[in-house]
Structure 1
Amino acid sequence: MWKIYFSDEVYLEAQIQNITPGPIYMDHVSLEPSSQYLCTPLNNAEGKDQKEMVFGKVNYLNPMDIRQYLYCLVPKPEVIKQNKVMKGVTDIGKIDIVWKTNLGERGRLQTSQLQRVAPGYGDIKVTLEETPDSVVLESSFNIICRITNCCERTMDLTLTLQNNQPSGLLWTGISGRQLGKLAPKENLDLRLTLIATIPGLQTISGLRITDNFLKRTYEHDELASVFIYNDSNP
């Protein structure tokens, strides 16, 4: 079984179960990425020996035992450089599994190309490129917001910041700001400022982008979460 978590990065979890009557030694489990992605295995233990697996030095699976392997895939630099927006179904790679039985017999399984269904962003994709994890109550902080034109036509955009959301974060700055024209597949980075007003885990919401050509407004809420804490130390 494998699971794919959708975002700009792809996190793939491979779930492997030993359904044989005896224990098996997991000799090799890897993800061979497709030509569009780079792959980083997330199965090594932290510490001095980065090559040691989180499962320990003895890499055995007993009958009916299940083990999860996790991998992170990111688009290659040339794909990012071309401002390519992943749409539709794309190949992400193959999982290669090699094992041995307790009698030394060798087995191998390689999946067909696993596919990712890219999330539907619509005409405009909004991501936060920089945002803090935590902020002191009643202080301001900056984020960097990236706007990408995912459609096949040029858009003329206006940015509106709404503070009528039930959130502990308030936008500051000019609302109704003209962003100008944005060509297809191009992106624009904006530095925006918020003030933390309520402690706890708060969500960045209330960003509205209007396409002046079609008079259509795109609403973007729950872009990220920020923890607001009360620094009461003197």
Structure 2
Amino acid sequence: MTSGAGAAGHSLAFRVMRLCRPSCQVDHPLLVDPSDVCNGEDSVNFKELLPGLVNGNDPGFWKRFELQEPMDAMGLSGQLVLPQTFGSIYLGETFCSYISVGNHTNHDVRDVIIKAELQTERQRIILSDNSKSPIESIRATGRFDFIIEHDIKELGGHTLVCMAVYTDPDGDRKYLPQYFKFTTSNPVSVRTKVRTVKDTTFLEACIENQTKSHLFMDQVRFEPAPPWSVTTLENEEEASESDGPISGYIKSLKLINGNGGARHYLFQLKRPPLESSDVKLEGANALGKLEILWRTTLGETGRLQTQQINGSPTPKKPLDVKMTNLPQRILIERPFLVRMEVTNRSEQFTGPLRVVMSETDDNGTPRTVLMNGLLSLVSSRIHEDLTGTLSQNLVAVAAGVQRIAGICLVDARDGRQVEFVPPTEVNFEALLFVANRSR
């Protein structure tokens, strides 16, 4: 890496080399026939030198186009090549560098303090600092080496500042700063679409590879925000019997090709019905964050987390209904009283409201908890930001844990459904009869 400032007039100088995994050396050999190399084109005039050419059977011709070994098509020479340039650094990767402080003079320097700092537009990160235990001396033509690592979390320009404070042979204290600049870019582009179908929200994420190399997706996970729950919808490809072990393994890889390759992911989001204490969550539209983990072709890892993904704002419920004052002990076939608190959260009055209860569920099964007495109870108007109370007698026809469900508030004027009362599970006890036997 080149330095933004020289070390002229100083005994020490910094050298920085980026540490990354080597790449495979690829050679594309030029396949020619040995006779062409030895004899040349002039040998065509001397056909007696090439009897195969006269007979129309030139083995050198087909050997140029047919591979003797399948691996020759890849051009891999079996050698690894170290990076010759600094290369590209992407967001989410680990920046690792080998820093060498060399003494290029013929005399020793003493009490050397070395500090490495990474500066961005937002912050400064100290990567190495030995000010508490300085190096006693660096001899002539000697050097001191160390390695630094940092996870790249910001885009844009970065400056690696290497500083050294030392004492020269004349006893003077000198300060040497050197600056090494590089720029980080985004490895992937994430585009999202949010669609809502009834009570279910679907999030589609498209991840596009903006690097030149392939990326292998280790994990693409969506971290939902409370109170959302997530299910990843994947289309799993089953390996056929004709696929070998290598072909089946290749199909299982979640690969995104370089230079614009893309892959799509689908997530299903749901959240439970809002309770009265969750009023603040009604208008919230934060869904969560997307976490992406990948590997390059040689196994180098990367990790990114998107910003908060927002969905469509949840419409505020005009009414908030909850059951209160349920009896602690309820017997079957004995009426019991429940109270319902109705809070008007709209900007205008509502009502009059009528309480109705269905006798069967959505599947047509009779309910085990029914209304007792009047099947319809009408309330008065409820003004904005006020709470009204409704009472209703119910009766259970089955013992055990049963659900009180199917209670709905409708507008008494036009019969429009306004709000459903959230279901509640209650334990109902059976009646016990003890017979007295006379002796």
TM-score by length of 1: 0.49
TM-score by length of 2: 0.28
Q: Which has the higher contact order (CA 8 A, sep 6+)?
A: 1
Hey, which of these two has a bigger chunk of strand by percent? Answer: 1
Hey, which of these two has a bigger chunk of helix by percent? Answer: 2
